[in-house]
Chains A and B, each alone.
Chain A
């Protein structure tokens, strides 16, 4: 039954909209302020400042392109694979941060350090998005795809 629900074309469309809009929203603030995003990354104390700056330069654009790909249906599998990888790394970073007792901003959707603190709720949210990405990755449907309408 779960399999039939997850393979429903409208459920798949809903997951695409969810993932696409989440990452579209997440990328905007980071693209406009890469320095603040690099600071948010260094706060995890996992990588050095210059490496964080390199990541902050490219990663928001990966998120934006993945969001566009998932929403349009073009390059969907490649985009969901990247989302899976990114979400896994983000989740591991948050978990290690929590274990080390860090009280920092997540740097997920907004770069305001006073909101979106890391916590187990964030881990659960990420696990939900990982599940959605996994379902989309293995989905066989090709409905509501932009290239169908342009032909």
Chain B
């Protein structure tokens, strides 16, 4: 009985993995969407594709007010604490955050971040912003964790 069930489970799992990767590969979603923003070689009228930025450079732009920080985390995490003056555009709410997106300045560097080096939402959000015409986007991979580890300015609340 258990052997029979395990064999059926194995078949379902294999089929699901195959379907999942085939679907995301051809739809360019999820796993296969990651490389698009960084590796993009498509010409663009808005400037180069999003590029990474390290902590010292991000802090330098913060100090000179030459960049807008965009927090890609959920609102609940953002409310607990975020980089001072950062805007919150959660990746999962991108389509419903048009007002926040419209308020992003076009003449400043946009620095997108999420929790830290192990999250993907900053990459995805940067790609989405780039796709709708924003240039000068930088991805701060160190994210919230690096920022607070260095005791740089933060604030909490909405």
Contact = CB atoms under 8 A, between A and B. Distances in A.
Interface in B7-42: 7-13, 15-17, 19-21, 23-24, 29-31, 33-34
A40 to B, nearest CB: 7
A113 B92 contact: yes
Interface residues of B, number: 38
A77 B5 contact: yes
Given A77-B4, A82-B9, A105-B74, A35 B29 contact: yes
A116 to B, nearest CB: 13
A62 B76 CA distance: 29
A90 interface: no
Contacts of A50: 118, 120
B5 A137 contact: yes
From A35, A43, A77, name the one whose CB has the most chain B CB atoms within 10 angstroms: A35
Interface in B111-130: 115, 118-121, 124
Contacts of B90: 113
B6 interface: yes
B12 A82 contact: yes
A19 interface: no
Contacts of B6: 78, 81
B9 A35 contact: no
B34 A113 contact: no
Measured as residues with beta carbon below 8 angstroms from the partner, the interface class of chain A is 35 or more
A72 interface: no
Contacts of B115: 42
A79 interface: yes
Contacts of B13: 62, 82
B91 interface: yes
B131 interface: no
A112 B10 CA distance: 31
Interface in A49-81: 49-50, 52-54, 56-62, 64-66, 69, 75, 77-81
Interface string A111-127: 11110000000000000
A37 B70 CA distance: 20
Given A61-B16, A62-B13, A79-B12, 5 more contacts: A35-B120, A50-B118, A57-B20, A58-B17, A61-B20
Interface of B: 1, 4-13, 15-17, 19-21, 23-24, 29-31, 33-34, 74-77, 90-93, 115, 118-121, 124
9 contacts: A34-B24, A42-B119, A49-B118, A49-B120, A57-B24, A57-B30, A60-B20, A65-B12, A79-B12
